[in-house]
A and B are shown apart, each in its own frame.
Chain A
Amino acid sequence: MGARGTVAAADRGGPQLMLAWLESQGHWGFIHVSLAITLILVVADLLPPWLQQRKLKNELRARARREQHRTN
């Protein structure tokens, strides 16, 4: 998309402007955005269960330690 398309998109607001920018980057722009979105989704897939599990493990370990103290 050329300068005319970019100016027209600017009148239409944020998302249109972002798409106009993306299209002006050529094929590698689409490839880079694909890679970036995939990476974000993978991190979003892995991070919550990993953090939740770490918290739960710490909680259970602390409880086991408390019980051990009580029995001692």
Chain B
Amino acid sequence: MKRVAVIVFPGSNCDAETLAAAGAAGSDAYFVWHRDADLRQADAVILPGGFSYGDYLRSGAIARFSSVMAAVTAHARAGGPVLGICNGFQILCEAGLLPGGLMRNARLRFLSRPTWVRVEQIDTPFTCLYEKGEILEVPIAHGDGRYVVDPRTAAELEATDRIVWRYVRDNPNGSTNGIAGVTNAGHNVVGIMPHPERRTAPALGGEDGARVFHSMEARHATQHAVDVRAVDDRHLRV
């Protein structure tokens, strides 16, 4: 059983489902308030979806400076798994933990509907139980989901297989190269726009998202070559 910190910002609104999804996968999941500086020995950190700080200025721009983000950054720099879902992805981009940024959907509408994504990268703590090339149905719910990177970075992401999920059938928001999720060079930080926590049981319309959370548990059960546990001291020093 792994310790999973779900960070709660003012305006987070997918925190409860995310906690439940991690719990259902067997994790010891708990909330950490954005003002806390301590992740309480988390093995993995999840930044959930929502509208932190009302999306004022830019989505994720203000949350990125919350006290807890110093600890999240230290955890990520130490190789610890960090997952950003939707607003969490926006925050990770604003924090510089992932490349690129998320802008207003190309056709302006707020989109809340199912999408289909192809799993492109399974060597991450959040996708290791999927098959490469598998098509998943997972919903999106965002106004600012158009992933934007400069052409050079986009080419580098493609060449180094850092696209995690890619929209198929259609590109709902105009994202560069249909990118729905990316990872960092170390593959320990992942950001995705679709909401896997909303597809974790048949009663929710499908369970294609469940393995995101099961992957966390499975990955940690076998991977302890590097101690990725972020401890309090380390947080404070960075």
A and B form one complex: no
